[in-house]
Amino acid sequence: MRKLEERNQTEQKLDNLKSSRKRYWEDNEPVPDELKELIKTKQDEYDKAHTGYERSKLDIQNL
């Protein structure tokens, strides 16, 4: 359950960052480099959290 919560929290933060980026696009403004870097970093964190969650599910199935 902890892995799922970690993944969901990271996903929520990533979604918030992507929403911010979308607002810049809608306003025809350039997306700040800091925001781009934050999205990339958070996407990497999400990928790791998702992989950890999937591995945990497999471990439980193999018990």
| Number of domains within the chain | 1
For residues 51-55, give the mean pLDDT. Answer: 95
Q: How far apart are CA 63 and CA 57, in angstroms?
A: 10
Task: Give me the pLDDT at residue 26, please.
Answer: 98
Task: Give me the pLDDT at residue 24, please.
Answer: 98
Closest CA to 10 of 36, 37, 48: 48
Output the average pLDDT for the chain: 96
Cβ pair 42, 10 in contact under 8 A: yes
pLDDT tens figures, 12-28: 999 999 999 999 999 99
2 backbone dihedrals φ, ψ, rounded to 5°: -65, -40
Expressed as residue numbers, the domain containing 49 is 1-62
- The contacts of residue 10 (CB under 8 Å, 6+ apart) are 42, 45, 46, 49
